[in-house]
Amino acid sequence: MMKFNHALAGELGLDASALDCDEGAALFSGNQTPFGAEPLAMAYAGHQFGHFVPQLGDGRAHLLGEIIARDGNRRDIHLKGSGPTPFSRSGDGRAAVGPVIREYIISEAMHALGVPTSRTLAVVATGEPVFRETVLPGAVLVRVASSHIRIGTFEYFAAREDTDAVRVLADHAIDRHFHALRAAPNPYLALLDAVLQAQASLIAQWMHVGFVHGVMNTDNMTISGETIDYGPCAFMDAYDPATVFSSIDRHGRYAFGHQPRIAQWNLARFAETLLPLLHTDPKQALAIAGETVNQFPAVFERHWLSGMRRKLGLCTVEDGDLALVQSLLDAMQTNAADYTNTFRALCDAAEQPEHLRAWRSRFPLTKDFDEWFVRWQGRVHAEQQTSIDRAASMRRVNPAYIPRNHRVEEAIHSAVEDGDLSRCDELLTALSLPYQERESCNHFAQPPAPSDCAYKTFCGT
Ligand code: AMP
Ligand code: MG
């Protein structure tokens, strides 16, 4: 067992001491099946980079089963890298230690940031080699998610024109995630709307923390609204909506700033799978679906703007707020300012404007920043809140620590090359309380050196 997440085991109501040992490793590597479990690989289809693939499926993963967690909700326990399945095609069904540790760090960081996500219960080294461009040590990641129902799961059955199966799946998704919708006049339209709301809220939260998923194919988007399938994802340092890390995303389809648009495109694919359930008349079904999906930009903007207001310490709503936020982002882009640290510095500046001078002196900023700062000061001072309270509430939404790429790489490097997990543990400690600045963790808040900025990620978790 390379890593075991005791906090998560506690939340799930699992006996950590019975699992963080060789017997646990045997279960989590897939070598032994838990009593009564019937592991399976799930079928799904999906649009990959805009192109439909009628059959993908779990090619390197097994759903071990479901458990009821302490909060009463059902969770999937899923093994990633557990060997070939009927969906493996030409793949080996394996995963390498590096990408598995990467998923552990980033998914746990996302959880601590408050973003809905699958989580990582454990990492088990298989002791077997995995053959990529080089020979790498193999590992299995134990993933916990509220379900693994993807837009691609719906597409799988819809592509086969199996409307009965789509209905069974939709009923199951409603029961599992949106129970109250069963009583809706048209539960399937209500499901489409609920998934749209969940995705809009999720993508807004990604944008708030500077997360780039990297492969927003429809098979990687959940119905539950949880972030899933961590592959070439990464956090942005300097603000730039065109930020792309994934080496396979050559045209920037999944760039940071494109994520809301892509989410809407994916929802349109989801809506298409539900058409026969929305109305018996295909024309009317299309009209209903279109009307719902077209609401996405407004729903997204509502979620995004209310989060951006919180990031700027605003508790009231004013017409000019969108323009105020946009001009800050423009100034950040012009100055290649660090996204996370700019907002964190604004927390200090909210408490004491003099702080901004100290922070500002570290950057070669243009005067648009100063102009923006004066506008923002005018806007916040018209509100009732004290500056102390404002700064405190801003620090609860603007993280000090994100999994910065150069730190994640360092942690992976020492785990893979030297079998040393201490760097990974240190990083996880900082990321577990991302909103609480601590002297001992402050090196994790430093942006990368300019030479480290051209960061590239590769698929293969
Ligand atoms: P992903 O890029 O992780 O969303 O994966 C896309 C598809 O490729 C999924 O159906 C995966 O199960 C499959 N896949 C990725 N890597 C492997 C592998 N090493 N062996 C078998 N299937 C894989
Ligand atoms: Mg995937």
Q: What is the pLDDT of residues 278-312, one digit of tens each?
A: 999 999 999 999 999 999 999 999 999 999 999 99
What value does the mean pLDDT take over residues 189-206? 98
Residue of 44, 51, 56, 218 to mutate, ligand 1, most atoms within 8 A of C-beta: 56
pLDDT above 90: residue 366: no
Confidence of residue 367 (pLDDT cuts 50, 70, 90): confident
- Measured in Å, residue 247 CA sits from the centre of ligand 1 at 16
Confidence check: pLDDT of 361 > 70: no
Confidence band, pLDDT 50/70/90 cuts, at residue 460: low
- Distance from the CA of 274 to the center of ligand 1, in angstroms? 26
Alpha-carbon distance of 208 to 339, in angstroms, equals: 9
* Ligand 2 center–CA 100 separation, angstroms: 14
> What tokens were used for 48?
């990959």
pLDDT of amino acid 182 = 95
Q: Are strands 61-68 and 46-48 parallel, antiparallel or unpaired?
A: unpaired
Q: Return the ligand 1 atom nearest residue 58 CA.
A: 12
CA-nearest residue, atom 12 of ligand 1 = 59
Query: Which residue has its alpha carbon closest to ligand 1 atom 14?
Result: 59
- pLDDT surpasses 60 at 109: yes
Given a contact cutoff of 8 angstroms between Cβ atoms, the answer to whether 129 and 94 are in contact is no
Strand-pair partners of 130: 136
Task: Look at residue 7 in the predicted model and tell me its pLDDT.
Answer: 96
pLDDT band at 363 (very low <50, low <70, confident <90, very high): low
The answer to whether residue 232 scores a pLDDT higher than 70 is: yes
122 φ/ψ angles, rounded to the nearest 5 degrees: -160, 160
Q: Extract the tokens encoding 85.
A: 């399945």
pLDDT (average), residues 58-77: 97
Number of the ligand closest to the Cα of 221:
2
The residues, any chain, with a CB within 8 Å of residue 183's CB and separated by 6 or more, are none
What is the average pLDDT score of the chain? 95
Residue 431 CA to ligand 1 centre (angstroms): 28
Ligand 2 ion local residues (Cβ < 5 A): 220, 229
**pLDDT, mean of residues 94-107:** 97
Closest by CA position to 402, among listed 209, 196, 185, 271: 209
* Cα-Cα-Cα-Cα dihedral sign, residues 56, 101, 38, 145: negative
Contact 460, 249 (CB under 8 A): no
Per-residue confidence band for 354, with pLDDT thresholds at 50, 70 and 90: confident
Ligand 1 atom closest to 44 (CA): 10
What one-letter code names the amino acid at 431?
L
Distance (angstroms) between ligand 1 centre and the Cα of 120 equals: 18
Kindly name the residue from 20, 193, 219, 229 that is annotated as catalytic.
219
Q: Is the pLDDT of residue 262 over 90?
A: yes
Q: Identify the nearest ligand to the CA of 80 by its number.
A: 1
CA–CA distance, 293 with 192 (Å, rounded to integer): 8
What integer is the mean pLDDT of 205-210? 98
- Pocket perturbation via mutation, ligand 1, pick of 60, 82, 87, 459 by most ligand atoms within 8 A of CB: 60
Ligand 2 centroid – CA 48 distance (Å): 10
Average the pLDDT over 236-248 and give the result: 96
pLDDT at 396 over 60: yes
Give the 3-state secondary structure of residue 50. coil
193 is catalytic: no
Give the list of residues 6+ apart from residue 434 with CB closer than 8 angstroms, or none: 109, 112, 113, 399, 400, 401, 402
Ligand closest to 61 (CA) is 1
Bridge partners, 19 (sequence order): none
Return the structure tokens found at 380.
């916040």
User: Distance between CA 140 and CA 119 in Å, rounded?
Assistant: 14
Kindly tell me if the per-residue pLDDT of 118 is higher than 70: yes
Four-CA torsion 420, 422, 428, 430, nearest 10 degrees: -150
Using the atom order of ligand 1, give the atom closest to the CA of residue 85: 21
Burial of 70 (0-12, 13-18, 19+ CB in 10 A): exposed
Q: Which residues does a 6 A CB cutoff place in the pocket of ligand 1?
A: 56-60, 87-88, 91-94, 215, 219-220, 229, 231, 459
Distance from the CA of 59 to the center of ligand 1, in angstroms? 5
Return the CA Rg of the chain: 23
C-alpha–C-alpha distance, residues 151 and 213, integer Å: 16
Average pLDDT (428-447) is 97
pLDDT band at 362 (very low <50, low <70, confident <90, very high): low
What average pLDDT score do residues 102-127 get?
97
**What pLDDT does residue 450 have?**
76
User: Is the pLDDT reported for residue 355 higher than 80?
Assistant: no
pLDDT 10s digits, 81-95 = 999 999 999 999 999
Question: Which amino acid would we find at residue 385?
Answer: Q
Q: Residue 449: what pLDDT?
A: 85
What does the pLDDT read at residue 199?
Answer: 98
Give CB contacts under 8 A, 24+ apart, made by 58-62. 58/85, 58/87, 59/84, 59/85, 59/87, 59/88, 59/89, 59/91, 59/93, 60/84, 60/85, 60/88, 60/91, 60/92, 60/93, 60/94, 60/95, 61/85, 61/143, 62/30
